[in-house]
Amino acid sequence: MTPLELVGLNVFTDVWTFFSKIDFEVPRRLAWLAAIPVLVAAYVLATRRKNRRGMRFTNTSMLDVVIPRQSQWRRHLAVALSLLSLITLTTAFAQPTTQVNVPRERATVVLVIDASLSMQATDVPPNRLDAAKQAAVGFVNELPEKYNVSVVSMAGATSILVPPTLQHSTVANAINSIKLQDSTAIGAGIDTAMAALQQAPKDPDHPDEPAPGAIVLLSDGTNQQGRAPQQAAADAKKAGVPVYTIAYGTENGYVDLDGQRNPVPVDKEQMQQIAQISGGQYFTAATPDQLRTVYENISSEVGYEKADREVTAQFAGFGLAFAVLAALGAISLGAKWP
């Protein structure tokens, strides 16, 4: 595919995505669009009748001098622009709306970072844990200042290193303090994150409304003890808390323990199940750059919420532009240019 074709495909995809999200406040007004096919049929019929009348004259050389021949394509273009104007103005009349991303004013994000021994694998340089720490700190620094952030260290035992706080520098220090430990308890990690969410400060203006919350779980291994992660994910779903999972590492990772080499491939299936059950999203990352990209995507998901926004003005603007072009086309047909 050539670069020009790729650009055209991207433009088509963007336009299709925009129109696929369109809804209408007064959809019954779209009934006026039924007049468009009638107008098209009338124009085609009138054009054919005009052509049949023109065939009665066998010698048109004198007519070309007296009555200059009109440009066919300009006439068709003027009609097409007029119809496009009617279509877009009728659409605007129906008060179209679409969903847009609106920045959240406040939210609570709990980072759950796997600190099990498998995270010392060096398939992601310098090792999985250090690379994960660096990317997590960058993620926290990119979050809005009004976001409360908490950190949970997860291994065989789990602990809240920092309860939800607006002091993001404190969160970054806690992330860098995470140390390797034995075993992995992913279900307990999710439960601990849910407990951390309960400690989020209340909004003074809306004390009875909990802030939107989300859990970001980074892990490379299989649950080895404690509660099943799927059960914990189901509880998070009931509470309206999505779990964004990141399966971090490669299939070739290994660690040397007690003189033996132990493979530590990433359990992608389990991480995918957790995200699906909880209503979150599943990501994979095998390099530090990929992990940073994943965190950027999660930041966008957590930092925005969907809201309906009326786009009547945009459609009215398109309609006006088409009407102006159609008027210019009609003027060019009637004008006698030197």
pLDDT tens string, the chain, 338 residues long: the values are: 565 555 555 555 655 666 667 888 888 988 988 988 888 888 888 877 766 665 555 555 554 555 455 567 778 888 888 888 889 889 888 888 887 766 666 789 999 999 999 999 999 999 999 999 999 999 999 888 888 999 999 999 999 999 999 999 999 999 999 999 999 999 999 999 999 999 988 766 666 766 689 999 999 878 999 999 999 999 999 999 999 999 999 999 999 988 899 999 999 999 999 999 999 999 999 999 999 999 988 887 776 666 677 888 888 888 888 888 888 877 777 655 44
**What is the pLDDT, as a whole number, of residue 271?**
95
Is 298 within the bounds of a domain? no
Q: Does one domain contain both 144 and 264?
A: yes
Is 302 within the bounds of a domain? no
**What is the pLDDT, as a whole number, of residue 337?**
44
Q: Does one domain contain both 116 and 214?
A: yes
Is 300 within the bounds of a domain? no
**What is the pLDDT, as a whole number, of residue 176?**
96
Is 272 within the bounds of a domain? yes
SS3 sequence, the chain? CCHHHHHHHHHHHHHHHHHHCCEECCHHHHHHHHHHHHHHHHHHHHHHHHHHHHCCCCCCHHHHHHCCCCCHHHHHHHHHHHHHHHHHHHHHHCCEEEEEEEECCCCEEEEEEECEHHHHCCCCCCCHHHHHHHHHHHHHHHCCCCCEEEEEEECCCEEEEEEEECCHHHHHHHHHCCCCECCCCHHHHHHHHHHHHCCCCCECCECCCCCCEEEEEEECCCCCCCCCHHHHHHHHHHCCCCEEEEEECCCCCEEEECCEEEECCCCHHHHHHHHHHHCCCEEEECCHHHHHHHHHHHHHHHHEEEEEEECHHHHHHHHHHHHHHHHHHHHHHHCCCC
d(CA 208, CA 72): 68
Is 305 within the bounds of a domain? no
**What is the pLDDT, as a whole number, of residue 262?**
92
Structural domain of 124 = 104-286
Q: Does one domain contain both 203 and 239?
A: yes
Q: Does one domain contain both 166 and 90?
A: no
Instruction: Output the CA–CA distances (angstroms, integers) from residue 122 to 75, 155, 255, in the order listed.
Output: 70, 18, 8
Q: Does one domain contain both 282 and 319?
A: no
What CATH number did the domain enclosing 198 receive? 3.40.50.410
**What is the pLDDT, as a whole number, of residue 229?**
96
Cα atoms found within 13 Å of the Cα of residue 128, Cβ hemisphere only:
30
Q: Does one domain contain both 88 and 111?
A: no
Q: Does one domain contain both 135 and 277?
A: yes
| Nearest partner of 110 among 50, 153, 169, 150, judged by Cα | 150
What is the number of domains present in the chain? 2
Q: Does one domain contain both 38 and 135?
A: no
Is 191 within the bounds of a domain? yes
Is 250 within the bounds of a domain? yes
Is 180 within the bounds of a domain? yes
Q: Does one domain contain both 128 and 83?
A: no
**What is the pLDDT, as a whole number, of residue 54?**
53
Q: Does one domain contain both 258 and 271?
A: yes
What φ, ψ does residue 246 adopt, rounded to 5°?
A: -125, 110
Q: What is the distance, to the nearest Å, from the Cα of residue 260 to the centroid of all Cα atoms in its chain? A: 44
**What is the pLDDT, as a whole number, of residue 101?**
65
Model pLDDT for residues 247-284, shown as the tens digit of each residue: 999 999 999 988 899 999 999 999 999 999 999 999 99
Q: Does one domain contain both 52 and 113?
A: no
Q: Does one domain contain both 171 and 244?
A: yes
d(CA 248, CA 181): 17
d(CA 164, CA 180): 23
Residues in the chain: 338
